[in-house]
Structure 1
């Protein structure tokens, strides 16, 4: 279970998320090794991710032909399911790490760069981010 700790002496907060130790060392290294057939973020591999939370597409959920896709992070730093139980341990005050940890997949091809996207693709990506953080 993750928690947010507050150092009362320095008034600083830190997120402690032991669950994240299960994730790959670096996403960049994992994606570099991935091929189109093994990359969970590429179009056609929708079954390799948890069910989507949101997508911009014209057909049914969790299928191909999407423009932007949002899925839960498998290696969550925070969780929606936790109850809010604050505690005080010595100098540290802590609360459970409650919240949503999602991945916004901005394009069906992870090799695309922002500079390669047209204005409609950028609009779709930014509107998805705005909707998810609102």
Structure 2
């Protein structure tokens, strides 16, 4: 048995456009844009979507949105999603990048949120 929940919505933006995209999305969503120290590819959109980490991520790829799913068992959650029809695209450290049916990307990663938040909001899977 393991647990998981949606942790973040990432707005993937080609690197040359990331600053403009962060300014746009911050204004559009009534949020404050804050670069993340030590993770320069991310600009947090603080309080854009209450209860969900929201950020612009500079990427060397096409613009898109993707979800991060945090879990207490990356292997089990990846297997669950693969069983639902996702395919694994890559692995970066402990994070697994998957493609869902329909083509959307999602990442499976170890728990990032406060343990109390995770315990209160995560789904339990067999």
- TM normalised by structure 1 equals 0.27
- TM normalised by structure 2 equals 0.28
Instruction: Identify, as 1 or 2, the structure richer in strand.
Output: 2
> Whose relative contact order is higher, 1 or 2, with alpha carbons under 8 Å and at least 6 apart?
2
